[in-house]
Amino acid sequence: MRNCKHTRQVEALFDGERADAALERHAAACPACAAALAGLRRLREGARAATRAASVEDAQFPAFMAGVREQMDAPARRPRGFLAVASLVTAAMVAALATFAIIKGGPDPVRATEVEVSTDIPGAEVGWYDAPDDSITIWINLAEDDL
């Protein structure tokens, strides 16, 4: 069945959005509009029949209260937050790094392997000697006297 061009207006009439006597006569005479109105009436009646107030009858009350008690006796769930876990992981990392730094010891001792020597004494000559025990001997030779 084809829709009539007045179907939307007839639906508005059914919902009480408009009141028009000529439209009511058209809806009664037009088979498409009459079918649309009949469908809307069926939907409205079905919706009324489906709605009912929820209630707990006397025979259902013990089962209802048993469910309430079960939920009350259950321990409360404690959600573990992301920030708490992240804080715990960060504290463990700091403790591990601190322990590693203490166990490993400090930095290696500094060893100088280069010595630069010079003098401002005219005619003096500077010399040095690197011993196998990592000690360095430095001397100055003068042209006239040896130091």
Q: What is the pLDDT of residues 88-103, one digit of tens each?
A: 999 999 999 989 888 8
Query: Which pLDDT band holds residue 2 (cuts at 50, 70, 90)?
Result: low
3-state DSSP assignment of residue 138: strand
Stretch among 98-102, 113-117, 128-132 having the lowest mean pLDDT: 113-117
Supply the pLDDT for residue 91: 95
β-pair partners for 129: 137
Q: Global pTM? A: 0.34
- Rounded to an integer, what distance in angstroms lies between the CA atom of residue 145 and that of residue 142? 5
- Does pLDDT of 32 surpass 60? yes
pLDDT of 106 strictly over 60? yes
- Judged on CB neighbours under 10 Å (0-12, 13-18, 19+), 85 is exposed
Percent of the residues in the chain that have a pLDDT greater than 90, as a whole number: 7
